[in-house]
Structure 1
Amino acid sequence: MDSILRKNSAVAFSFDLELLQNDAKRIYMKKLAIDTCASFLARTISQSDFRVKEKGSYKKNDLYYRLNVRPNKNMTASTFWQQVVYKLVYDNECLIIQADDEDLLIADDFEHKEYAVKEDVFSKVVVKDWEFTRTFLQNEVLHLRYSNEKLSPLIDSLFNDYGELFGRLLTSQKRKNQIRSTVDMDANTAKNEQSLNKLQEFINKMYKAVSDKDIAIIPQMPGFGYKEHFSGGGNGIQSVDEINKVTKGFLDQVALSMHIPTSLLYGDIADVEKQTKNYMMFAVNPFLKKIKDEANYKFFEKAEYMNGDMLDIRPISYNTLFDIADKVDKLVSSGAFTGNEIREEAGKERSDNPNLDKHFITKNYTEIGSLEGGENEK
């Protein structure tokens, strides 16, 4: 090819244009899909309430403050938990260490040495630009895994097919209704390199005028001819719809891998309550269970846990108290639950009122003991 181009500088000039370059890989489609799903899940998790229970009662201590308000000097709790979710989604694991001042820090990099019958060891732990010289044992850190296998290889394999198809559709759409131009020049101009450079500069200015201005006047020059060729054909709207379908299809597959209902991502209002329940049950609650199990093992001894000391995580509720008022009335009036049991299920703290630890029955909320006594008297 080089020997052919050397023989004709005009041909070499035409092959040197960058207009023929094509990039079929559209990495931003992949990043958009993953960020959309990860951000959706992160926003939900970050609104959870982390409660510390001691001997059956909720306490607001230093651990409660760090989990719900300020885990460390540079992060709010919501930002902290969002970053944890992003780490788990992108890296499939997240390491949280506790510094000497008890700040909770998210490791950006670390080495994990696994053992079969003794505790794993974490070394070369890096947080931002700081590397810890000490090693951490498994019982000193919170080590979370998202799934058994990394999500990224699955998404990468999926993107290889979707990305190639997306790139071809996008390239095809650009070619439709495209204005193509040709420039004719005489042989003397083609042989002079200085003339070619000036001509190229003139063509660039002419191209900018045609693309930017509604009306562009192109002067005619001796030995220089400019022609436009319109590329039509096909329905442009249909091609855009095809591109959107490919993008939507890839997002659907990523959401499916993370158990996020696509209707929630798109803001559909049909069956939103049912889809929200599925999302909370299959995506959010298992995520919180991983955090809860790991934290209960690391922050509490076995004897403390058996005695009622534990971390309880309450996810964000999609129902208000007004939505469940009728159901609460039935549960209490039937005598099945006490008022305090209902309060705990609703995410509220127990009340000190002793009447809320009693069972009532009938619509008049008559105390069970009083009802039995009244019947005996009759």
Structure 2
Amino acid sequence: MGVFQSFFDIFKKNSEIELSYDFDTLIDEYNMLYLKHLAIDTCAEFIARIFSRSEFRIRKNGQPITNEWTYLLNVRPNLDQSASSFWQQVVYKLITENEVLIVLSDDDQLLIAESYVRKEYALYDDVFESVWMKGYEFKRKFPMSDVIFLQYNNNDLNRYVRGLYEDYASLYNRMVEVAMRNHQIRATVGGKEGRGFDDKLQKKAQSYIDKLYEKFRKDSVAIIPMQQGLEYNELTNTVGETNQSIDELKKLKRQFVDEVADILGIPSTILHGELADLESAQTVLNKYCVKSLNKKIEDELNAKTISKAEYVAGMEVKVVGVDKKDIFDLADAVDKLISSGGFNRNEIREEVDYESIEGGDEFYITKNYEKAKGGEEVNDETGN
């Protein structure tokens, strides 16, 4: 055979290997992408579930008060959601999309916007328009002062998510490339019985190939005659199997979950259900993840649900979540703080998210909490 046939022989030998490699690579890329997405979803859902257990307390000068916002934030934000499911969705969207917009409808429902356009201004309120929610578009515009707008501002997570979308684009391009190769017609044309390609046969083969090409290109079903002296063989596409084992996928999943957990401040041992040193892990979770999230949402609610005059008068919104201190664990420490005269009872109550009480601003110095009057003789034996 001539050079023409040799080329097709080389192509035939490598085509099945190449296509098998393409599918191996494609499946590996898909698995990696899926596991990255699963890691973000796992961590975001974990934090969202934790925050959904939070309680929103409105106080004035340390005393609890009840108003319409108390009901909206703690019981039923809108007609379709309870408070726990609403805040779980808010926090999940905040983490995965880096921001979330909550608008107050004309009938006083808190609604999570699915999409919107934000117009920014230097000296005036930013404005949100084209706000969509469940297929409904609000016709009016929402100034920043009338909405609850939360931004996560986690640059490391932003880069991770951007990389995820780049991986999606890469996977899509690879899928298109593999699909084109998989559905491409590939064939060899050779001389029968070891016959080589002389000039006459090469022209005949080229004419035959051109006719085949036109027939295959134009017709979905093409029937072609065989030519004397020429042999046509269409290559069969084969699909390879992925080489990734179940154990490898589990290790990759754990690796990606650990990466995202580290970005969000979640101890990975909690996510994996490891009970060793659980108390320490819970402390780290509260300190580096939950508290900062509570503070972010708390600040936005204070800025948007309470006026400046009300805030100056002592009104505030407080988010009390799973990071709330256990008063029974702190009993000994509280006893020493109060009996030493270092703090009064209301200061301690504020630290553990309880309202102030009447007479709680007085300081005590004796162990049995008797008020220190000063000037008494001290008993050398008892110290009282």
Report the TM-score when normalising by structure 2: 0.68
Segment of structure 1 superposing worse, 18-27 or 31-40:
18-27
Structure 2 portions without partners, runs of 5+: 171-242
What's the CA shift string for 1:318-352, capped at 9, x where partnerless? 65332111111111211222223322222222334
SS in 2 for 1:322: coil
Larger radius of gyration: 2
Tell me how far 1:263 sits from its aligned partner: 1.4
SS in 2 for 1:296: helix
Among candidates 58, 67, 73, match of residue 73 of structure 2: 67
Supply the AA of the counterpart residue of 1:345. Answer: E
SS in 2 for 1:343: helix
Among candidates 351, 354, 373, match of residue 348 of structure 1: 354
| Mapping 1:1-378, distance limit 5 Å | 21-22=23-24, 23-24=27-28, 25-26=30-31, 27-147=33-153, 149=155, 151-155=157-161, 157=163, 240-317=246-323, 319-352=325-358, 354=359, 356-369=360-373, 372-375=374-377
Supply the AA of the counterpart residue of 2:143. Answer: L
Q: Is the 8 A contact 1:144 1:291 kept in 2?
A: yes
Partners in 2 of 1:249 and 1:49 — Cα distance?
34
Q: Is the 8 A contact 1:49 1:316 kept in 2?
A: no
Tell me how far 1:275 sits from its aligned partner: 2.1
Segment of structure 1 superposing worse, 334-343 or 135-144:
334-343
Partners in 1 of 2:159 and 2:362 — Cα distance?
55
What's the CA shift string for 1:271-310, capped at 9, x where partnerless? 3222222211211111111111111111122222122111
Partners in 2 of 1:160 and 1:105 — Cα distance?
31
Tell me how far 1:30 sits from its aligned partner: 2.4
Partners in 2 of 1:139 and 1:160 — Cα distance?
35
SS in 1 for 2:376: helix
Change in Cα spacing, 1:39 to 1:133, as seen in structure 2 (3 Å) is same
Partners in 1 of 2:129 and 2:161 — Cα distance?
29
Change in Cα spacing, 1:348 to 1:255, as seen in structure 2 (3 Å) is same
Tell me how far 1:374 sits from its aligned partner: 2.9
Percent identity over the alignment is 42
Structure 1 portions without partners, runs of 5+: 165-233
Q: Is the 8 A contact 2:62 2:355 kept in 1?
A: no
Partners in 2 of 1:343 and 1:288 — Cα distance?
19
Tell me how far 1:160 sits from its aligned partner: 7.6
SS in 1 for 2:145: helix
**Which has the bigger relative contact order, CA under 8 A and spacing at least 6?**
2
Tell me how far 1:367 sits from its aligned partner: 0.9
Segment of structure 1 superposing worse, 266-275 or 19-28:
19-28
Supply the AA of the counterpart residue of 2:282. Answer: T
Supply the AA of the counterpart residue of 1:375. Answer: E
SS in 2 for 1:73: coil
Report the TM-score when normalising by structure 1: 0.69
Tell me how far 1:67 sits from its aligned partner: 0.6
How many residues matched? 290
Segment of structure 1 superposing worse, 264-273 or 288-297:
264-273
Supply the AA of the counterpart residue of 1:282. Answer: Y
Partners in 2 of 1:347 and 1:297 — Cα distance?
20
SS in 2 for 1:142: strand
SS in 2 for 1:367: coil
Tell me how far 1:362 sits from its aligned partner: 2.4
Tell me how far 1:38 sits from its aligned partner: 0.6
Provide the alpha-carbon RMSD of the alignment.
3.2
Q: Is the 8 A contact 1:30 1:159 kept in 2?
A: no
